[in-house]
Amino acid sequence: MGEHGADAEHKLTEERLALLSVLQELTVAALDLLDPNKPADDFLDRVAERLGCAVALWLQSDARGQVCLQGSSGLSAASRQLPLGGLTQDSLSYPELASPGLVRWSVPIEAAGPASSVLLLYFDREPHLPRQYRGMVERLGGVLRTALIHRQLFARTLESERALQHERDFSSAVLDTARALVIVLDPEGRIVRFNRACQEMTGYSFEELRGAYFWTRLQPPEEAARVARNFAVLAEGRGFEQAENHWLTRGGERRLISWSSNVLRGESGAIEYVIGTGIDITDHRRAEQERDQTFQREQQARARAEEQEGRSALLAEASGLLTGSLAPEDALRSVAALTVQRFADWCAVDLLGGSHACQRITEARSEALRATSPARMQCALPDLNAAHGPGRVLRLGEPEFCPEGCAAMSLGCVRNGQALTEVVEFQSWISVPLLARDHALGALTLARLEGSGPYGPADFALAQELARRAAMALDNARLYQQAQLAVGLRDEFLSIASHELKTPVTSLQLSVQGLMRLGRTGALRTASVEAVTHSLEVIERQAKRMAKLVNTLLDVSRIHAGRLELEFEEVDLAALVRDVAARFAPELATSGTRLLVHADTPVPGVWDRSRLDQIVTNLLSNAIKYGEGRPIELRVEGDAVMARLEVQDQGIGIPAERHARIFRAFERAVSSRHYGGLGLGLHIVNQLVERLGGSVRVESETGQGATFTVELPRRGPTASPAVDPAVQEGP
Amino acid sequence: MWIHIGKSRSPDCTAAAREASQEALRGADAATFALVLCTDQYDAVALASAVREQLGDIPWAGCSAAGVFAGTELLLQGLVIALFLGDDFRVGVGMGGPVSERPRAAGRAAVAEAVSQLPPKPPGHRRALLILPDALSGNPTEVVRGAQQEAGAGIRWAGGGAGNNLRFVKTAQFTQGRAYQDQVVVIAFDAREPFGVGIQHGWSPYGPPSQVTKARGATAVELDYESAFDVYQRTAASRGDALDAQSFARFAMTHPLGIPQANGEFVIRDPLSVDPDGSVRFVAEIPDGSLVRVMEGKRTDLLDAAAGAATLARQATPGALGGAVVFDCVSRYLLLEEGVQDELSRFQNALGAGVPVVGCLTLGEVGAMGGGVPQFHNKTAVVVALPG
């Protein structure tokens, strides 16, 4: 009996141990059910294995009584696919449950709410299990209930997390899809989000920058401090919502970003995030700048074209004025007036006189200049010794250009203020010479006030062109005047020459006619010898006079044609002068002029005797002609190199302004009506002296007589570098 | 349904295939199926080729094992072929794998394929599935669960892990006339009469229970919050046995773990080795949280269990038997040694003299102990009685 009792106790112990083991194992297995991802099938497999079930099912009914299979063990794959709609646990139609004799344990698993759950265990036959197993299974049902609740909670949690993750993924996808740069920062400025556009633009991945202060990683060093300060203000919820700054890419490229920032506040109102939305405007800004530059270039080009057009128009108009007038000074005044309308605030034209004196032809002022200095403004004549300004230009014949900021004092314009005299401050000025045939005729000076814009190189070129045209017009006008004068002289000469030739011809005709009349009447044979001789002498004298006139004209013609032939030989100038003086004795006697000859010392030289004779003759003839009968002195001097002849009269004299002209052809210092002659004597003297290598000059004043001085190289024109070699060598 | 068995001890693949086939085919009419079991000395690929040549169009399947037997004759080197004859059953064969990667899916795939080859089951026919997983690869417990999940309840389950003579190097699974590794082969039968399956092991618990406090698949990391090996040592010490890592294999051979079932039975888990951290690796899964027992087996109990399994199978099969298939754990042979002959006799005797019996020494066994869903067992004898 005791042994039997021990066996029973042992059996009971083993049963309890088995029960405990099964409960333990299944409870542990049930813990896996807390994870909704773990299939309930695994748990039910364990249940079926340990309890010896043929089939284990976990059915779930919803509030509408719809049954679904949470898990199963012992159901084939095909059975698990069977629909359960409308079934209850008592009407399950799985083929596995069709076997006769199946014993079912049904364990309700009470769940919160209207849903219900049940664990169904099917045995092939009545299971030989200790009775405690019903209780264990019910206890297991309690575990399953808890597990189910957790499973559902966990499932909902997972679903929520999935939904949240989905929302996050969606947000991320939206952020990543956005072409704009989106960066999310915590209130300290650390990067929390960094969308794909940011990653693509910077070359950094989000993971590389997560948690970094954005200004330390993305901002150029020189901007970092400022951006950090601005961010601090923004993170306090104040200001700087719109900003532009640079980001530095991984490759070191600077990108200009236009930011719009917002803050995201938590429930407490505290700022949790700062969200920056940016657009990379680097290319846009660059394009804008290029467009602006292009626009500016076009504007400048248009302005230049307009300026050029203005200059061309000005030039054209000025040229019209200059070429349309034979009065150059009037034209220059018109040009100056035109210039101050278009090109300058002040314009002056200065011309050089014969003695390098300066004369201001015109001075024009713009409306603007007149407005700033009404009436009281005065401009001095150029100082030819000045270091700058029109005086220098006149002196050197070189232009001067003051683009900007030079001293305007050089222009010599001042305005009288209430107390002080002040220089008119021109911003920019140009002074250009009026050059014609390498000679400065004058200067054109232009100036601009502040506000009219400084002169540029193109303006300088325009001024030079204007000056060139003005100079050409001026020169042409002067040449025209000279030509007119020359024509007048020529006409006067022709008149004189005709008269001079007609006088002897008339005398000749009278004498010849007288002789012919004597001859036709036969009276010639009876006429007195004295009368015939007188007529013949008249004829001879008039013929000589005509020959002399013709020779003079031939000489001038030869000189001008370059065909004058010289025959050099040793000639004593003193002896030659004495001979000529002697030859003029009758005329001197006729005019009652006393001639004093100082030619006692021989002054030999290599000259053309006849031409030297002609020089002395012409000068002495002139002295007698204009000497008004007063004494004339002839003086011959010389040194080793030069010989000097001086012819001095005390006659009517020559005005100083005519000194230069008396040596020209057909020029004369006095009217031909009072003094006969062709007016070619001094011109021939001048030409011959030059051919002999010397020079001639006059010193005279009106009414004070005249002194002509001829200097000749004693060794002939070879001694003088000025001589024409062609003349020396002869034709 | 009846079977014709042929066998050969020839180490040569071709000769073995020829001898076994000819013996099996002798006097046999058109065979529906052939179960091929061989020891592991053969080149599996060459043997499959030789068998294929011998059996021609007859579909066949099988596996390698540590030993094979025909009747009471154990062949530790040899080949047995059991031809399944008769027109009262249908056979389908499926394979799934690799079991080392997706054991549960492999089980499901193999069952699905095998069942798909069967014509629609006529009313009243019974289905039996023989499952032959590669027990050296992966988790055979999961393979069986996958097979069960695909097939459902109302099925007689049997089978054994393809193995070898405990060198644990490689196994072979045969189907489609070829040899495979890392697979599970399932043979599905639909027959007019039920297949009787008996499963017994004869092991008994001793010593205190130990809770599995940490397990990882087939490895018991901790028992009672100590390393599993420490518990083993303490249990051995209580019996006066000194145990260290080197002697563990021998001790473990006779001292498996038992996992309690509600019906008082134990599912046996065979220890294989000790890991450096004191974890103990088993042939199959150790359930976390269970109160496991160290088991011991007496020779007579094991032999009685063999007889019991055969008896259960015989009782579950009405009428005359057409034969029987036995999956007997190789470790029982290693324990019983020459006494295994007695075990084979007990099988034969319980099934009845003259009943053709074919079987093999397996690495793990498959069956539903006490009914219900099938499980993967160790150190167990599974007998399938074929209805005649």
For residue A38, the distance in angstroms to the closest alpha carbon of chain B comes to 14
Q: Give me the residue from B151, B267, B290 closest to A76, CB to CB.
A: B151
* Three-class SS state of A395: helix
Residue with the two structure tokens 């939305």:
A277
For residue A42, the distance in angstroms to the closest alpha carbon of chain B comes to 9
Contact between chains at B148 and A45 (C-beta distance less than 8 A): yes
> Where would I find the H helices in A246-401?
282-323, 328-342, 367-372, 390-396
- Residue B306 is encoded by which pair of tokens? 């063999």
Task: Write down the architecture of domain A178-280 according to CATH.
Answer: 2-Layer Sandwich (3.30)
pLDDT class for A355, splitting at 50, 70, 90? Answer: low
Q: Considering chain A, what is the average pLDDT of its residues?
A: 84
Cα separation, B386 vs B318, whole angstroms: 10
Question: Contact at 8 Å (CB) between B248 and B274?
Answer: yes
Contact list in B for residue A124 (CB cut-off 8 A) is 371-372
Contact between chains at A15 and B149 (C-beta distance less than 8 A): no
Contact list in A for residue B375 (CB cut-off 8 A) is 49
Q: Which of B111, B126, B139, B263 to mutate to test the interface with A (most CBs of A within 10 A)?
A: B263
Cα separation, B266 vs B378, whole angstroms: 10
pLDDT class for A723, splitting at 50, 70, 90? Answer: very low
Contact pairs from chain A to chain B, CB under 8 Å: 127
Strand segments (E) across A471-602: 568-572, 595-598
For residue A227, the distance in angstroms to the closest alpha carbon of chain B comes to 56
Cβ-Cβ contacts under 8 Å for A272 (sequence gap 6 or more): A186, A187, A264, A265, A266
Residue with the two structure tokens 């640079």:
A246
Pairing of strands B271-274, B280-282: antiparallel
Residue with the two structure tokens 């563990």:
B248
Looking at residue B35, its pLDDT comes to 97
Cα separation, B381 vs B297, whole angstroms: 13
* Three-class SS state of B381: strand
Chain centre distance of CA A442: 31
Q: Please, where in chain A does CATH 3.30.565.10 lie?
A: 562-729
Q: Give me the residue from B150, B264, B287 closest to A77, CB to CB.
A: B150
| Mean pLDDT score, A257-284 | 89
Contact between chains at A28 and B145 (C-beta distance less than 8 A): no
Contact list in A for residue B289 (CB cut-off 8 A) is 24-29
Residues forming beta bridges with residue B206, ordered by sequence position: B294
For residue B59, the distance in angstroms to the closest alpha carbon of chain A comes to 26
For residue A93, the distance in angstroms to the closest alpha carbon of chain B comes to 13
What confidence tens digit (pLDDT) does each residue in A380-396 have? 888 888 888 898 999 89
Q: Judging by beta carbons within 10 Å of its beta carbon (0-12, 13-18, 19+), is residue A639 exposed, middle or buried?
A: exposed
Looking at residue A727, its pLDDT comes to 35
CATH of domain A562-729: 3.30.565.10
What confidence tens digit (pLDDT) does each residue in A405-418 have? 777 788 888 887 66
Q: What angle do CA A256, A262, A265 make, to 5 degrees?
A: 150
What confidence tens digit (pLDDT) does each residue in A604-658 have? 999 999 889 989 998 998 899 888 889 999 999 999 899 999 999 999 998 888 8
For residue B278, the distance in angstroms to the closest alpha carbon of chain A comes to 22
Looking at residue B225, its pLDDT comes to 94
Q: Is the pTM of this model over 0.90?
A: no
Residue of chain B whose alpha carbon sits nearest to that of A78? B150
Residue of chain A whose alpha carbon sits nearest to that of B153? A74
Residue A673 confidence (pLDDT) above 60: no
Q: What angle do CA A81, A82, A87 make, to 5 degrees?
A: 140
Name the amino acid, one letter, at A173: A
Contact between chains at B153 and A99 (C-beta distance less than 8 A): yes
Q: Please, where in chain A does CATH 3.30.450.40 lie?
A: 15-157, 327-543
Question: Contact at 8 Å (CB) between A569 and A679?
Answer: no
For residue B52, the distance in angstroms to the closest alpha carbon of chain A comes to 33
* B 246-285 residues inside an 8 A Cβ radius of A: 259-264, 267
Which listed CATH number (3.40.50.720, 3.30.450.40, 3.30.530.20, 3.40.1050.10) goes with A327-543? 3.30.450.40
Contact between chains at A133 and B293 (C-beta distance less than 8 A): no
Instruction: Return the C-alpha torsion angle A544, A545, A550, A552, nearest 10.
Output: 110
Looking at residue A730, its pLDDT comes to 33
Question: Contact at 8 Å (CB) between A70 and A59?
Answer: yes
Q: Which of B192, B138, B119 is nearest to B376 (CA)?
A: B138
- Residue B204 is encoded by which pair of tokens? 């008994």
Cα separation, A315 vs A340, whole angstroms: 13
Residue of chain A whose alpha carbon sits nearest to that of B147? A76
Chain centre distance of CA A104: 105
Q: What are phi and psi of B75, to 5 degrees?
A: -115, 110
Would you mind telling me the total number of residues written for chain A in this entry?
731
Question: Contact at 8 Å (CB) between A20 and A133?
Answer: no
For residue A76, the distance in angstroms to the closest alpha carbon of chain B comes to 4
Q: Which of A145, A174, A446 is nearest to A314 (CA)?
A: A446
| Mean pLDDT score, A368-386 | 81
Strand segments (E) across A624-666: 632-638, 642-648
Q: Which of A88-102, A328-342, B259-273, B296-310 is least confident?
A: A88-102
Q: Which of A89, A137, A143 is nearest to A111 (CA)?
A: A143
Cα separation, A149 vs A166, whole angstroms: 24
CATH of domain A15-157: 3.30.450.40
Name the amino acid, one letter, at A388: H
Give the count of beta carbons closer than 10 Å to the beta carbon of residue A223: 17
Cα separation, A611 vs A690, whole angstroms: 12
Contact between chains at B153 and A128 (C-beta distance less than 8 A): no
For residue A166, the distance in angstroms to the closest alpha carbon of chain B comes to 31
DSSP label at residue A212: S
In order along chain B (388 residues), what is the average pLDDT of each group of 10 residues?
Answer: 95 96 90 94 94 94 94 95 94 94 95 95 90 87 94 92 67 91 95 93 88 92 93 85 84 88 91 91 90 90 95 93 95 87 95 95 91 91 95
N-terminal to C-terminal alpha carbon distance within chain A: 185
* Three-class SS state of A72: strand
Contact between chains at A76 and B152 (C-beta distance less than 8 A): yes
Residues forming beta bridges with residue A255, ordered by sequence position: A247
Contact list in A for residue B154 (CB cut-off 8 A) is 54, 95-96, 98-99
Q: Judging by beta carbons within 10 Å of its beta carbon (0-12, 13-18, 19+), is residue A183 exposed, middle or buried?
A: buried
Residues forming beta bridges with residue B78, ordered by sequence position: none
DSSP label at residue A719: G
Q: Which of A524-538, A581-595, A695-709 is least confident?
A: A524-538
B366 Cβ under 8 Å from any chain A Cβ: no
Contact list in A for residue B262 (CB cut-off 8 A) is 18-19, 22, 50-52, 127, 129-130, 133
Contact list in A for residue B290 (CB cut-off 8 A) is 21-22, 24-25, 28
Q: Over the Cα atoms of chain B, what is R_g?
A: 20
B377 Cβ under 8 Å from any chain A Cβ: no
The domain limits of chain B are: 2-200+302-387, 205-289
Contact list in A for residue B108 (CB cut-off 8 A) is 77
Residue of chain B whose alpha carbon sits nearest to that of A99? B154
Looking at residue A374, its pLDDT comes to 61
B291 Cβ under 8 Å from any chain A Cβ: yes
Contact list in B for residue A101 (CB cut-off 8 A) is none
Looking at residue A328, its pLDDT comes to 78
Reported ipTM: 0.89
Cα separation, A160 vs A166, whole angstroms: 9
Contact list in B for residue A143 (CB cut-off 8 A) is none
Q: Which of A13, A16, A32, A45 to mutate to test the interface with B (most CBs of B within 10 A)?
A: A45
